[in-house]
Amino acid sequence: MSFTLAIIGRPNVGKSTLFNRLVGKRLALVDDQPGVTRDLREGAARLGDLRFTVVDTAGLEDATDDSLQGRMRRLTERAVEMADICLFLIDARAGVTASDEGLADILRKRGTHVILGANKAEGRAGEAGLLDAYGLGLGEPLRLSAEHGEGMDELYHILRPLAEGFEERAEADAPATDIDVSEDGDAPDHTPSAAKPLQVAVIGRPNAGKSTLINKILGEDRLLTGPEAGITRDSISLTLDWMGTPTRIFDTAGMRKKARVVDKVEKLSVADGLRAVRFAEVVVVLLDAAIPFESQDLRIADFAETEGRAVVVAVNKWDIEEEKQDKLKELRYKFEKLLPQLRGAPMVTVSAKTGKGLDRLHDAILRAHDIWNRRVGTAKLNQWLEAMVTAHPPPAPGGKRIKLRYMTQAKIRPPGFVVMCSHPEDLPAAYTRYLVNGLREAFDMPGTPIRMFMRSQNDKNPFKGRKKAPPSKLRKHLEGRRES
């Protein structure tokens, strides 16, 4: 990335729509109601041959107290100070308002490079507001329509000379999953680096402390927090160096039960959080120590496991827990009982408020990531399989003896294994679970999702399942002569 562009403006002027236009994806939530965006969302933007970081911000309002609107305003003002260039949007159809004039005063004092954009200027309805924008004292306004893509060429020609002096920065890509591995080759190196940072998503119910935890990891108040539940709406990704590990961490919206989600914006927020899980390598399921392992927590953890991501369970607000030892025993018992599919996954107690336990959380994430990328040799697997079958032979449904002949690892991220056997369709699911649990213990793979596929060796027979061909006329003739 060559520079950072922050989109600033009052609520509902089209900042998120323009953000989505520049990144080429529907990343930011967009709705007709004002105030949808609350946090700062960064994206990799492309405009012609320009590559830069664009920041979507919350609408600036007049509140300056500690209310939600006041905290949103302070976060947006901070984005103005950090950005290389500010794009100040007004609504050309509504004209210049008193809030626009106040924002113009702030930008004249703080913004180094400010571009004035009049959005929603398509057609004649925006001409009056476009003329009014000259009075803001920020130069000639740029006529834009974020919805229809008008004015992008003019924006490019304005940004091009400003971008020449800025330093190039790298872009993080989505992680690769379900990677095929050869039987005898080593697994590729997936050590986190600056080019490929470790991707971590923090998910959980509303008000579990996800944004507060990430702020503590960052060492600054980067994300909007507060006592109100459901503050976070967008899934925000941030890149940092966490205790020497290049990391890209996703903050997500709180996920309530589906039946309780009736608001359109909340539905979009939850969908955005689920998408962040698919872009992560390790998922941290954050629980509230006061009410852990509710049904929604179990659904969230099961979703992460179903998506094939490494899972770490973190119990937050541990600093206010009084009976810590008894509570810890209770948590571990419930974890093993309610989440058997994540048997052995790390469970860490943390305090997002004080920062206690963050070192243990970091170590647990690295270990979960290492197990998620683990490769087991074919020879070791077949020795282990022989011992498992000897200790507990597979059943013989209907008198059919099922033979497990051969086993190999076919994939990593998460680990996937293939067992060649006879009659795989008749092998009970309980026996597959027996093998999976044995793999976890024998090869030290607790908690990570393990995929096991049963295949028949006859699958390679090209004639399997084909009907017997009818006899030819010559064959019928020869058979008739023999009979006579």
pLDDT value for 409: 92
Contact between 144 and 122 under an 8 Å Cβ cutoff? The reply is no
- Residue 44's H or E segment, with its range, is strand 41-47
Same fold for the domain at 3-173 and the one at 378-460? no
pLDDT for res 270: 57
Confidence class for position 230, pLDDT limits 50, 70, 90: very low
* DSSP calls for 377-429: -HHHHHHHHHHHHHHSPPP-GGGPPP-EEEEEEEEETTTEEEEEESSGGGS-H
pLDDT (0 to 100) of residue 419:
93
Each residue of 443-463: b (16+ CB within 10 Å) or e?
A: bebebbbbeeebeeeeeeeee
pLDDT at 186 over 90: no
Length, in residues, of the chain: 484
pLDDT digit string, tens, across residues 289-328: 888 888 878 888 888 888 889 999 999 999 988 888 889 9
pLDDT at 463 > cutoff 50 = no
Give residue for tokens 């941030």. Answer: 238
Specify the higher pLDDT residue, 35 or 155.
155
Locus of tokens 């004639």:
463
Mean predicted confidence (pLDDT) in 170-191:
62
Residue range 1-6: average pLDDT?
Answer: 75
Q: pLDDT, tens digit, for every residue of 346-395? A: 999 999 989 999 999 999 999 999 999 999 989 999 999 999 999 999 98
Note every long-range contact of 324-332, with CB atoms under 8 Å and residues 24 or more positions apart, other chains counting. 324/349, 327/289, 331/292, 331/293
Architecture of domain 198-373: 3-Layer(aba) Sandwich (3.40)
Q: Where are the domains of the chain?
A: 3-173, 198-373, 378-460
Q: Is the pLDDT of residue 68 over 80?
A: no
pLDDT above 90: percentage of residues in the chain? 22
Known binding site for GTP: residues? Answer: 9-16, 56-60, 119-122, 204-211, 251-255, 316-319
Q: What pLDDT is recorded for position 431?
A: 93
The residue with greater pLDDT, 329 or 259, is 329
Helix (H, G, I), strand (E, B) or coil at 194: coil
Q: In the prediction, which pLDDT does 264 show? A: 44
Is the pLDDT higher at 280 or at 68?
280
Q: What separation in angstroms does the CA of 106 have from each of 79, 88, 283, 359? A: 12, 11, 39, 40
Above 70 in pLDDT, residue 166?
no
Identify which has the larger pLDDT, 237 or 138: 138
**pLDDT, mean of residues 146-150:** 88
- Please report the pLDDT score of residue 381 as a whole number: 93
| Span of 20-34, 269-283, 392-406, 409-423 with lowest mean pLDDT | 20-34
Q: What is the pLDDT of residues 104-124, one digit of tens each?
A: 887 877 656 889 999 988 877
Contact 347, 331 (CB under 8 A): yes
pLDDT at residue 406 above 80?
A: yes
Which of 330-334, 416-420, 452-456, 462-466 comes out lowest in average pLDDT? 462-466
| CA-closest candidate to residue 103, choices 174, 11, 14 | 11
Place of tokens 């476009």: 130
Question: Which of the given ranges, 72-86, 241-255, 287-301, 425-439, has the highest pLDDT on average?
Answer: 425-439
The reported pLDDT for the residue numbered 471 is 57
Residue 159 structure tokens? 């940004």
DSSP class of 157: H
For residue 171, the model assigns a pLDDT of 38
* pLDDT greater at residue 424 or residue 69: 424
- Which residues fall in the annotated binding site? 9-16, 56-60, 119-122, 204-211, 251-255, 316-319
pLDDT at residue 265 greater than cutoff 50: no
Distance CA 61, CA 10 (A): 6
pLDDT of residue 273: 63
How does the average pLDDT of the chain come out, rounded?
A: 79
**124-128, 167-171, 227-231, 333-337: which has the minimum mean pLDDT?**
167-171
What is the dotted CATH code of the domain comprising 3-173? 3.40.50.300
Does 61 have pLDDT greater than 70? Answer: no
CATH class of 378-460: alpha beta
Res 173 pLDDT > 60: no
pLDDT band at 260 (very low <50, low <70, confident <90, very high): very low
Q: What is the pTM of this model?
A: 0.61
